A and B are shown apart, each in its own frame.
Chain A
Amino acid sequence: MSLRVVDNPEPHTPHKRNPGFPLDLDWVNNVRMNRSALERRAGSIGARRTVKKDYQLAWLLKAITLIDLTTLNSDDTDGRVTRLCAKARHPLRTDILDKLDIPGLRILPGAVCVYHSFVKTAVTALEGTGIPVAAVSTAFPHGLAPLETKLKEIELSVADGAREIDIVIERGMVLRGDWQALYDQVKAFRKACGDAHIKTILGTGELATQTNIAKASLVCMMAGADFIKTSTGKEKVNANLVTSLTMIRMIRWFSEETGIEIGYKPAGGIATAGDALKYMALMKEELGTRYLQPHLFRFGASSLLTDIERQLEHGLTGHYAADYRQPMV
């Protein structure tokens, strides 16, 4: 087993963590989101920006570093999680890496994301790689458990070695406009996370309007979220570019007002290299190139990696690749 690609230390990026802010309902009520206009912008990004040849290869390599390699199925086992972690250690076939000739680059996914039950397994399997383990907590995917239970789940995951916690918000709070309750709960989650970074999953497919999604994003950021994340992957509608635009514009506004940069994680349904490039272009256009780093941008995905591998192989060899020839995720 070659450890070539994991020998380099994690790149150091100075980043000020979100300390949290008081709930500002005036700000929340000033949110205006025009769905048609958001759709027009989101719909044109893939046509406005594209990367080809070496640029595409480099961007796809970057995309790998932005993946939260994920398995969140009710039939997950230690064996399944271990296999996922093995893939995380070697996201690319050695022959592809050799052809790329990029010995100085650290090409590893941003994290491995699992249920609480498998945090320990993943931490062990990833030992020495620097890849953090993310746990979905707080009664994922619905979030409807007693607060005490949810806080305890976070604490246990952190104790097991999770360095990132993906929490789910109670969608009903948004639909009722109970921003205070949402704020209080996320703030409590954040406290329970301690040093672990907190990603707040909004369940955007169940929030009905872009305005609701924007307001929920803002309240989570005020409450101390390090990342805002679209979906659990279990809603009928998962991440898409329109919702992403809504959320990253709130990230931008939050940064303008507070100076704090919040990360963004679209999750669910992002399965192709082409999709990933569109999201990256959207981030670069709306937030700037510096947001295309793992501490500010992640994809929640599982099959995406295989497609990226195939595209890289195609780009390097000129012939199309088959998924069964890439080591399974």
Chain B
Amino acid sequence: MNKIAQIFQSLEYGPAPELPDQANAWLDSHGRKFGHFIDGKWTKPGKTFASENPANGEKLADITEGTAEDVNAAVKAARAAFKPWSALSGYERGKYLYAIARAIQKHSRLFAVLETMDNGKPIRESRDVDIPLVARHFYHHAGWAQHLSREFPDAVPYGVCGQIIPWNFPLLMLAWKIAPALAAGNTVILKPAEFTSLTALLFAEICDRAGLPKGVVNIVTGQGETGQAIVSHEGIDKIAFTGSTEVGKAIRAATAGTGKGLSLELGGKSPYIVFEDADIDSAIEGLVDAIWFNQGQVCCAGSRLLVQESIETRFIAKLKTRMASLRVGDPLDKSIDIGALVAPVQVERIRDLMKRGVAEGALVYEADGPVPANGCFLKPALVTNVSPANTLVAEEIFGPVLVAMSFRTPEEAVALANNTKYGLAATIWSENINLALDIAPKIKAGVVWINGTNNFDAAVGFGGYKESGFGREGGREGMSAYLKPAWEKELKLAPAAKAAPAKAENPLDSGHLDQTAKMYIGGKQSRPDSAYNRPVLDPKGQTIGEVGEGNRKDVRNAVEAARAALGWSTTAAHTRAQILYFLAENLDYRRDEFAARIKAQTGEDGTAEVALSVERLFAFAGWADKYDGAVHNPPLRAVAAAMVEPLGVMGIVAPPSRPLLGSIALIAPALAMGNTVVLVPSSQSPLSITDLYQVIETSDVPNGVVNIVTGDSVSLAKTLAEHDGVDAMWFAGSAEASAMVEKASITNLKQTWTSRGLYYDLADRRFEGDYFLSKATQVKNVWIPYGA
């Protein structure tokens, strides 16, 4: 029988290769050897390493290992380019972005083929997903550039941005980094991942041909050391990183105290929740797009399947059937679902993790089907018989491996979904809109997809909660990650605070006082765990009162109370506003008493400070029901609801000055947005705040929403910053202590704001708006496709 007759019977697909000729021609035109792209020119290749095609192990090109000198040169070029670039009108910058978008579209197939050769992802994905999203990102940000001054009137760009991107979406991550940075007026040094530098280098050539001014985009290739040189470079004003949580934490620690801007988009272990009333077949197909997209090498991959027990058996059976028709093979083949993983080291890593999981009792299912003998290929895998304690459930695998568990109730689904250190994305399948929209806000993740998965758009912010990082990419939130307030550069150093005495010289000296102010934890006044007190002195050094000497255990108790009070975040914004108004009103009743207390502690008339504190509470009461989200219209029949959510438990350490306003100005925005707070008032002058809990008690503030721990600001700040139950940390104090707080925050990657020893005049009305509101919130984008 001839071949056609055979195929007529078997109806197999056969090969359908995309030709690599043009990509090879481009590589050849560079002699398959690349230097960096710095200051609009190619540097001579230095010490190089090989970039390989993971599908067949063939070397594609030699890439230069970036040295500290290379990074210096790039920073110098970017610095020189910054002034003229940021001085261009938004329209002019927008035109460059538009030109880049057009050029990418024009050369989209070349980019797609090169990406697939370098990374191993199926050509269908690079062609239909990655590259179109790249072009869309530049188009979208061309518009932001033009409208920048209207939409962000008081903002300026950071300056020179260092950007370090991963290998899973090489060109797309480049676009997510470069487009907003350039739109905002920054210049950039971007380091592609060592496995996948080629499309970034092609992009450099596109920028060159689009006439982008030299030095605006600099591409420095290299490995981890090159990245470190960027992170630690003093001439860089902001670091943006996408990659592993481990490296993200190292970058957070390295940049602590430097004042560099930082955004981190890190790992994930995203839940994929299927309720019994879902369109099950569609949910199965969604899983294919969730965990077998890009071989599972996706930070937001739906890698933890949570399926309702009532449909579990049927669902798993259907899933296994579906897995059998996934085609693994040559990524340049147009009919391939799963291509090659990026490098042998990743294959090994995944195999090791699988072994550990199996040793812990996991059952692994892989469908039958051919897999190429050579190259970095893995079969899609389904892991069952696991619980949250299994390594495969807890760790990010970053490969084509799905772990499956079941749940009984919506509440349990949420608990399992949130039972992770990560919080990047989540998927919910249900045909019941009431159920889906009930679950979406309860999941701690930056992106929630309802009845769909892995939707991305330039207009819709993307980024994580918890150890998945902070900062957003895309949309308004993404733009603001590349901008800072214009007034920040005018900040002066704060005057050195007078050290507060930790103890009276003789512990018995304080005995003449009738009353020692206690701490305020969970709505109760409580004695310090240490059973020691510290004196509060007036400006002349006379003891005017005592407060408890807070220690680790007081902080622990306060955080527990604050966590227990997180229902505050779902209390209606109107109610939160009413409570803040009530608090203000009750404070105002006692203005004379509070003014006198300020005078006693600082020697200054406190009347104005009390009045301002009342006004500030009013201001944020007013914001509680107004600082809210947006509805985006991505190019899809869907709405993306950008929901503004509180961070959770916030540790707030007030500045030494302004005993009352210093605390009120910080806790008011936090409370208005639904956070609960552990407040450490000024060490020197804590009595205004220990007085405040009587006002709090009479103002209907639920127990545990505000907790007050007195004592030494810096040591309490350290305990708070290290506490995994604290979601965010604001610290007003010295530069040294600010650096300590930022460094300590890496245990759970809490978001931080620190004053870095600078004087923030909290009486200024610029602080009664979105400056602190934006820092007290994070945006969750909920994608809701629709259609009867």
Contacts and interface: CB of A to CB of B under 8 A. Distances in A.
A58 B8 contact: yes
A57 B786 CA distance: 39
A37 interface: yes
A52 B10 CA distance: 15
Contacts of A54: 3-4, 7, 14
Given A51-B13, A102-B8, A40 B279 contact: no
A320 B8 CA distance: 23
A47 B16 CA distance: 11
B14 A49 contact: no
Contacts of B4: 54, 57-58, 61, 100-102
B637 A37 contact: no
Contact of B14 (A33, A48, A51, A252): A51
Contacts of A51: 13-14, 16, 335
B420 to A, nearest CB: 25
A13 interface: no
A34 B279 contact: yes
The majority secondary structure among interface residues of chain A is: helix
Given A36-B452, A61-B8, A104 B124 contact: no
Interface stretch (B197-205, B281-289, B461-469): B281-289
B231 interface: no
Interface string A291-320: 010000000000000000000000000000
A145 to B, nearest CB: 30
B12 interface: yes
A47 B112 CA distance: 14
Contact of A208 (B11, B280, B289, B788): B788
A180 interface: no
Contacts of A59: 7, 11
A289 interface: yes
A76 interface: no
Contact of B787 (A36, A61, A100, A280): A36
* Most-contacted residue by chain B among A36, A40, A209 (CB, 10 A): A36
B13 A49 contact: yes
B15 interface: yes
A252 B314 CA distance: 13
A55 B12 contact: yes
Nearest to A284: B11
A210 B335 CA distance: 28
A36 B431 contact: no
A181 B127 CA distance: 49
Interface string B624-640: 00000000000011100
B7 A50 contact: no
A48 B8 contact: no
The majority secondary structure among interface residues of chain B is: loop
Nearest to B787: A35
Contacts of A211: 788
Contacts of B283: 37
Given A104-B5, A208-B788, A285-B325, A37 B13 contact: no
Interface string B310-348: 000000000000000100000000110100000000000
Contact of B8 (A35, A41, A62, A285): A62
B324 to A, nearest CB: 10
Nearest to B14: A55
A100 B452 CA distance: 44
A44 B325 CA distance: 15
Contacts of B15: 52
A34 to B, nearest CB: 4
A191 interface: no
Contacts of B278: 32, 34
28 contacts: A32-B279, A33-B279, A34-B431, A35-B788, A37-B279, A37-B283, A37-B286, A37-B451, A41-B282, A47-B124, A48-B337, A51-B14, A51-B16, A52-B14, A52-B15, A52-B16, A54-B7, A54-B14, A55-B14, A58-B4, A58-B5, A59-B11, A100-B4, A102-B5, A105-B5, A284-B11, A285-B325, A292-B11
Interface of B: 1-8, 10-16, 124, 127-128, 277-283, 285-286, 289, 325, 334-335, 337, 431, 451-452, 636-638, 785-788
